[in-house]
Amino acid sequence: MTKKNIKKNVGKKSVEDKIKNILEKIRPSLQMDGGDVHFVGFDKKSGEVKVELTGHCAHCPMSAITLKQGIEAEIKKAVKAVKEVRAI
């Protein structure tokens, strides 16, 4: 790898890194209510992100709303490659 290529790649984040960064920003809000979210994976072909909701979020009746209107909305706004976020 040349110096020029190295400079181009510095500062570039992978899609997964961007997703994880968004989740880190969301995490404190979930933790205040006794829950949490963990990145599981990203499928580049389908644009699907898989996350695991834990703590109170895992069994909360509002978790579907948190997932779609909170977590998914924030990730899709920041990362155009993401089409859907699913909890496993």
CATH number, domain of 76, equals: 3.30.300.130
Task: Name the residue range of residue 49's domain.
Answer: 13-87
Looking at residue 63, its pLDDT comes to 93
Query: Residue written as tokens 């990730």?
Result: 75
Looking at residue 13, its pLDDT comes to 80
Residues of the chain with pLDDT under 50: 1-3, 5-7, 10
Asked if residue 57 is part of any domain, the answer here is: yes
Asked if residue 26 is part of any domain, the answer here is: yes
Phi and psi angles of residue 8, each rounded to the nearest 5 degrees, phi first: -65, -35
**What's the pTM?**
0.82
Position 85, amino acid: V
Are residues 82 and 47 in contact, defined by beta-carbon separation less than 8 angstroms?
yes
Looking at residue 6, its pLDDT comes to 45
